[in-house]
């Protein structure tokens, strides 16, 4: 490989590409050419840096200068000033929102300081379309060591010792899963990578596949060796065209290097992968449904047992792991199980990637050690709540998870603590909400999702969630009664106990957790008929501002339900219990005396 | 379901796709992906033809088509619009954007404008949460969209 003094890393993830990062790459390249710097500086398109809020990002190494919100017209200046003259372009540096100081390099940004990047170790560092860059960072070394010098059981023991648990949501110990599959006897076994990332607001799997596809391929091969499979299948969402493209390129390159295919590295072990596309069904993230879908059928889950490790794809033993889980595997073998298990908490080892989104300053992708607190994630890494508003809740675990509130801010995040708090890890989406978000509406939003995505096979999920949604709809439109809250709770428990698969068993979580933590808000909706967050249209609270009201009685005549009373030329009042929120008074008032909350 | 009378060339396209996958019913989803790319949608006639080649019942094909939201049995507009309704976009106001689009285009979600120019759909998370709320028209991504910008964006599609 050629040696360059400087590398200009440009984020080529979906988010930054949507903000013209491809044009930025072109402009940087042409300016480098104009100034004759082709032998000194190289432009590399990398995966996601994680700091999506301020994209597009251009990072310059070795000095780690981190330019944010770069526009195509800034490129000439970056090359002329930074590359040619060695002067940083100050106005493009990240500005610390508290001190208003420009931060010289990424190592000093709050966003990165608390992060430990294992699964994302190569994202934003290497060109994902170039296998040499992956190999230069010890890529495929773990696979080589294992297939030439370790028995499958020895490798499985390392996985077990590391304590890695499935990152797709369930948190099942990966080593044990591999061991079960390895002990199943069959002429053919399969390794499946679940890349059907469906949680709205979670995009870590996509970022890993876009930024470091080789790490997943390498891990799948390692898994194949451990369980005795020669075939791997990546089940990926058709909605991720860029990830598909990069995965295909990566597989082609690995084959050309003899790292996939027959007799890998002369070890006698053969393994290859193929791609299967999802077609937009959330339930296919559930492993038995995923297997049905791979077989060309409707993605309906089946009863476990038999587990896929015994009877999976085409009736053969199948090991299904999620993208992020796989991305951890090569690092564990390179650095050792002890190193991995030294990070994290007693029962949750290593790190977790979270997608921070919603009303937070630094939207993006972060990887933090298990056991970090929500406060650190939201206020230190995430930079706090947008527009100086008040933190209200954070939703974790997507449609299967729940809301955590202020009182959970100092709880260490791991699989078990989140479940104890009424939520779950899920795939790692973290949606931050502020005072303007109505929690009843949020619960309704998730139920809308579940109703649409329920496969319809079992009645509790198909009918029960529909009923939950109807009741929430009723509450949000101001027609709820107090008994509805108990009804929601009862029905939720029944669905949890009786639904067939993980989707139905967890779908009432957003309802239960919002009722538990925001009971007052539900009560306000059904008793006082107001939405404290001011978000439910039908529950807008109309009041008259006495200092503006002239007592002209125009509103009294407009009100269809005689809810407004008052003497002529005196300030009037609206009886909230009679008011039907039609807005007629608001329309009629010439003195802007009607206040809408 | 809108009717599409299959011409010989259409039938040939379908046959080629099925042969490429060795008429294997296990590859039904891949075949449907290809067929939808070729025809833009999957009307009854296309489904019947696929079922014939794979030697499975039309009901089975129909069952799969209707199960997965990626497959559609109605043709899309010339410029298909998708509003991301992922949670991140939702809490940053995607619903207002969607309402504005419905008002401007006078169609519901899943509908097509009378002149066939625009169609409107929702999708779940394109993963550009940093740009929320997000709107896609064709392949183009519009980030940080506000309801007030919708008219201008639609007007920029003249043809």
Question: Which residue, among A274, A296, A433, would best test binding to B if mutated, counting the most B CBs under 10 Å from its CB?
Answer: A296
Supply the CATH number for residue A245's domain.
Answer: 3.40.50.11540
Alpha-carbon distance A472 to A485, whole Å? 9
pLDDT digits 0-9 by tens, B30-49? 999 999 999 989 999 999 99
Residues A297 and A324 reside in one and the same domain? yes
Q: Containing domain of residue A581, as a range?
A: 540-596
* Nearest Cα residue to A108 out of A67, A64, A62, A48: A64
Q: Which residue on chain A is closest to B21 by alpha carbon?
A: A296
pLDDT digits 0-9 by tens, A329-364? 999 999 999 999 999 999 999 999 999 988 999 988
Residues A548 and A503 reside in one and the same domain? no
A395 in B contact zone (CB under 8 Å): yes
The answer to whether the CB atoms of B25 and A19 lie below 8 A apart is: no
Alpha-carbon distance A43 to A597, whole Å? 52
Beta strand B79-84 with A429-434 is unpaired
Cβ atoms A380, A410 nearer than 8 A: no
Residues A149 and A103 reside in one and the same domain? no
Residue % of chain B over a pLDDT of 70: 98
Q: Which residue on chain B is closest to A433 by alpha carbon?
A: B91
Beta strand A65-67 with A190-195 is unpaired
Looking at A61-186, list the stretches that DSSP marks H as alpha helix, in order from N- to C-terminal side.
75-77, 110-113, 131-136, 141-149, 152-162, 174-183
Beta-bridge mates of residue A368? A352
Alpha-carbon distance A597 to A13, whole Å? 40
pLDDT confidence of residue A241: 85
Residues A299 and A153 reside in one and the same domain? yes
- For A153-166, what is the mean pLDDT? 97
Residues A160 and A297 reside in one and the same domain? yes
Q: Is pLDDT of A580 > 90?
A: no
Query: Does A345 map to a domain?
Result: no
Of A298, A317, A340, the domain-final residue = A340
pLDDT confidence of residue B130: 80
A2 — pLDDT class (breaks 50, 70, 90)? low
Residues A516 and A452 reside in one and the same domain? yes
Alpha-carbon distance B150 to B159, whole Å? 17
Residues A456 and A429 reside in one and the same domain? no
Cβ atoms A361, A382 nearer than 8 A: yes
Quick one: which H or E segment has residue A6? strand A6-11
Residues A65 and A179 reside in one and the same domain? no
Cβ atoms A266, A172 nearer than 8 A: no
Alpha-carbon distance B137 to B153, whole Å? 9
- For A68-87, what is the mean pLDDT? 94
User: Of B69, B70, B86, which has the smallest distance from its Cβ to A200's Cβ?
Assistant: B86
Shortest CA gap B36–chain A (Å): 11
pLDDT digits 0-9 by tens, B142-159? 989 998 999 999 999 987
Residue % of chain B over a pLDDT of 90: 67
- For A129-146, what is the mean pLDDT? 96
Residues A201 and A279 reside in one and the same domain? yes
User: Of A238, A293, A442, which has the smallest distance from its Cβ to B33's Cβ?
Assistant: A238
Task: Please state, rounded to an integer, the average pLDDT across all residues of chain B.
Answer: 91
Q: Is pLDDT of A92 > 50?
A: yes
The answer to whether the CB atoms of A18 and B27 lie below 8 A apart is: no
Which tokens go with A139? Answer: 């890529």
Residues A136 and A195 reside in one and the same domain? yes
Q: Which residue on chain B is closest to A438 by alpha carbon?
A: B91
pLDDT confidence of residue A48: 87
Using DSSP's 3-state secondary structure scheme, residue A355 falls into strand
Beta strand A573-574 with A564-565 is antiparallel
- Sign of the dihedral defined by the CA atoms of residues A253, A254, A260, A262, in that order: positive
Buried b (16+ CB within 10 A) or exposed e, A509-545: bbbbbbbebbeebbebbbeebbbbbebbeebbbbebe
Task: Please state, rounded to an integer, the average pLDDT across all residues of chain A.
Answer: 93
Cβ atoms B87, A201 nearer than 8 A: yes
Query: Does A118 map to a domain?
Result: no
B92 — pLDDT class (breaks 50, 70, 90)? confident
Q: Is pLDDT of B5 > 90?
A: no
pLDDT confidence of residue A414: 93
pLDDT digits 0-9 by tens, A285-311? 899 999 999 999 999 999 989 999 999
Cβ atoms A182, A160 nearer than 8 A: no
Query: Does A514 map to a domain?
Result: yes
Alpha-carbon distance A307 to A179, whole Å? 13
- For A139-153, what is the mean pLDDT? 96
| φ/ψ of residue A248, rounded to 5 | -65, -45
Query: Does A119 map to a domain?
Result: no
Q: Which residue on chain A is closest to B37 by alpha carbon?
A: A238
Of A318, A340, A362, the domain-final residue = A340
The answer to whether the CB atoms of A18 and B141 lie below 8 A apart is: yes
Instruction: Please classify residue A302 by burial: count the beta carbons closer than 10 Å to its beta carbon, then call 0-12 exposed, 13-18 middle and 19+ buried.
Output: middle
**Which residues of chain B neighbour A298 with C-beta distances below 8 Å?**
63-64, 67
pLDDT confidence of residue B131: 85
- For A572-588, what is the mean pLDDT? 84
Rg of chain B on CA atoms, in Å? 18
**Distance (Å) of CA A388 to CA A98, A299, A378, A391, B58:** 12, 44, 13, 9, 57
pLDDT digits 0-9 by tens, A423-442? 899 889 899 999 989 999 99
* Nearest Cα residue to A83 out of A4, A169, A177: A4
**Which residues of chain B neighbour A285 with C-beta distances below 8 Å?**
none
Q: Is pLDDT of A499 > 90?
A: yes
pLDDT confidence of residue A94: 92
Q: Is pLDDT of A315 > 90?
A: yes
Quick one: which H or E segment has residue A22? helix A21-34
Which tokens go with A25? Answer: 């790459």
Shortest CA gap A360–chain B (Å): 10
A195 — pLDDT class (breaks 50, 70, 90)? very high
Query: Does A125 map to a domain?
Result: no
Residues A388 and A422 reside in one and the same domain? yes
pLDDT confidence of residue A200: 79
Query: Does A1 map to a domain?
Result: no
- For A453-482, what is the mean pLDDT? 94
DSSP symbols for B44-103:
HHHHHHHHHHHTS-HHHHHHHHHH-TT--SSPPPSEEEEEE-SHHHHHTTHHHHHHHHHH
Residues A508 and A564 reside in one and the same domain? no
Beta-bridge mates of residue A261? A271
pLDDT confidence of residue A528: 87
Alpha-carbon distance A106 to A223, whole Å? 35
A4 in B contact zone (CB under 8 Å): no
Rounded to two decimals, the pTM is: 0.89
pLDDT confidence of residue B2: 52
- Residue A115: CA atoms inside 13 Å, Cβ hemisphere, count? 25
Supply the CATH number for residue A481's domain.
Answer: 1.20.1440.230
- For A221-242, what is the mean pLDDT? 94
pLDDT confidence of residue A596: 81
Q: Which residue on chain B is closest to A446 by alpha carbon?
A: B87
B1 — pLDDT class (breaks 50, 70, 90)? very low
pLDDT digits 0-9 by tens, A400-411? 899 999 999 999
- Sign of the dihedral defined by the CA atoms of residues A494, A497, A502, A508, in that order: positive
The answer to whether the CB atoms of B87 and A296 lie below 8 A apart is: no
Rg of chain A on CA atoms, in Å? 27
Cβ atoms A108, A93 nearer than 8 A: no
Cβ atoms A118, A331 nearer than 8 A: yes
Buried b (16+ CB within 10 A) or exposed e, B61-87: bbebbebbbbbbbebbbebbbbbbbbb
- For A225-248, what is the mean pLDDT? 94
Question: How many residues are there in chain A?
Answer: 597
pLDDT confidence of residue A296: 93
pLDDT digits 0-9 by tens, A517-566? 999 999 999 998 888 888 887 888 788 999 999 999 999 998 888 899 99
pLDDT digits 0-9 by tens, B59-77? 999 999 999 988 999 888 9
- For A219-224, what is the mean pLDDT? 98
């Amino acid at each position: 490989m050629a040696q360059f003094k400087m590398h200009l890393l440009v984020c080529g993830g979906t988010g930054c590409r949507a903000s013209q990062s491809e044009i930025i790459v072109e402009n940087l390249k042409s300016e480098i050419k104009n100034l004759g710097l082709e032998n000194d500086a190289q432009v590399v398109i990398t995966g996601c840096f994680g700091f999506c809020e301020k994209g597009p990002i251009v990072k310059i190494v070795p000095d780690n200068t981190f330019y944010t919100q770069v526009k195509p017209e800034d490129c000439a200046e970056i090359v002329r000033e930074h590359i040619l003259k060695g002067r940083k372009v100050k106005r493009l540096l990240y500005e610390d929102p508290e001190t208003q100081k420009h931060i010289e390099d990424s190592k000093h940004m709050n966003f990165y300081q608390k992060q430990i990047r294992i699964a994302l170790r190569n994202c934003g560092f290497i060109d994902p379309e170039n296998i040499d860059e992956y190999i230069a960072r010890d890529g495929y070394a773990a696979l080589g060591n294992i297939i030439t010098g370790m028995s499958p059981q020895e490798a499985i023991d390392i996985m077990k010792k590391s304590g890695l648990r499935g990152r797709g949501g369930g948190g099942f110990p990966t080593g044990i899963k591999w061991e079960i599959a390895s002990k199943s006897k069959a002429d053919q076994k399969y390794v499946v990578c679940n890349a059907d990332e469906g949680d709205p607001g979670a995009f870590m799997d996509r970022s890993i596949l876009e930024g470091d596809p080789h790490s997943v391929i390498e891990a799948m091969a390692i898994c194949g060796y451990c369980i005795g499979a020669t075939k791997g299948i990546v089940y990926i969402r058709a909605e991720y065209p860029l990830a598909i493209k990069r995965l295909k390129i990566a597989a082609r390159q690995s084959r050309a290097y003899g790292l996939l295919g027959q007799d890998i590295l002369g070890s006698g072990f053969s393994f290859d992968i193929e791609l299967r596309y999802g077609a937009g069904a959330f339930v296919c993230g559930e492993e038995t449904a995923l297997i049905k879908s791979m077989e060309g059928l409707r993605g309906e889950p089946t009863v476990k047992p038999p587990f896929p490790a015994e009877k999976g794809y085409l009736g053969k033993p199948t090991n299904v792991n999620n993208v992020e889980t796989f991305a951890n595997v090569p690092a564990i073998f390179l650095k050792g199980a002890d190193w991995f298990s030294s990070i994290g908490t007693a029962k949750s080892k290593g790190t977790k990637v979270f997608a921070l989104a919603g009303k937070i300053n630094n939207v993006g992708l972060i990887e933090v050690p298990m056991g970090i607190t929500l406060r650190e994630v939201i206020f230190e890494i995430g930079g706090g709540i947008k527009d100086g508003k008040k933190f209200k809740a954070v939703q974790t675990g997507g449609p299967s998870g729940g809301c955590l509130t202020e009182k959970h801010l100092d709880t260490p995040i791991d699989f078990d603590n989140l479940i104890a708090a009424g939520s779950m890890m899920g795939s790692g989406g973290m949606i931050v909400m502020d005072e303007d978000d109505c929690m009843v509406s949020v619960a309704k939003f998730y139920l809308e999702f579940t109703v649409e995505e329920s496969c319809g096979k079992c009645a509790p999920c198909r009918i029960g969630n529909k009923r939950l949604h109807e009741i929430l709809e009723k509450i949000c439109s101001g027609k709820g009664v107090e008994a509805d809250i108990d009804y929601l709770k009862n029905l939720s428990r029944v669905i949890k106990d009786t639904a067939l698969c993980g989707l139905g068993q967890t779908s009432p979580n957003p309802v239960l957790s919002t009722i538990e933590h925001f009971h007052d808000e539900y009560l306000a909706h059904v008793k006082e008929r107001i939405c404290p967050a001011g978000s439910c249209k039908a529950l807008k609270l109309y009041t008259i501002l006495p200092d503006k009201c002239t007592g002209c009685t125009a509103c009294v005549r407009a009100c269809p339900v005689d809810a407004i009373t008052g003497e002529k030329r005196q300030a009037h009042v609206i009886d909230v219990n009679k008011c039907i929120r039609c807005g007629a008074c608001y329309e009629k008032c010439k003195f802007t005396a009607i206040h809408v909350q | 379901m809108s009717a599409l009378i299959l011409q010989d060339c259409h039938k040939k396209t379908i046959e080629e796709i099925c042969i490429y996958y060795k008429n294997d019913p296990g590859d039904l989803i891949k075949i449907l992906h290809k067929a939808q790319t070729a025809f833009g949608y999957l009307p009854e006639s296309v489904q019947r033809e696929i079922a014939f080649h794979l030697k499975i019942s039309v009901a089975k094909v129909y069952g799969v088509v209707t199960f997965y939201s990626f497959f559609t049995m109605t043709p899309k507009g010339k410029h298909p619009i998708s509003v991301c309704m992922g949670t991140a976009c939702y809490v940053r106001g995607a619903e207002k954007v969607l309402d504005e689009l419905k008002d401007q285009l006078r169609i519901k979600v899943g509908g097509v404008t009378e002149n066939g120019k625009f169609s409107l759909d929702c999708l779940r998370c394109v993963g550009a949460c940093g740009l929320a709320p997000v709107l896609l028209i064709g392949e183009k991504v519009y980030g940080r969209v506000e309801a007030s910008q919708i008219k201008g964006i639609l007007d920029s599609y003249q043809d």
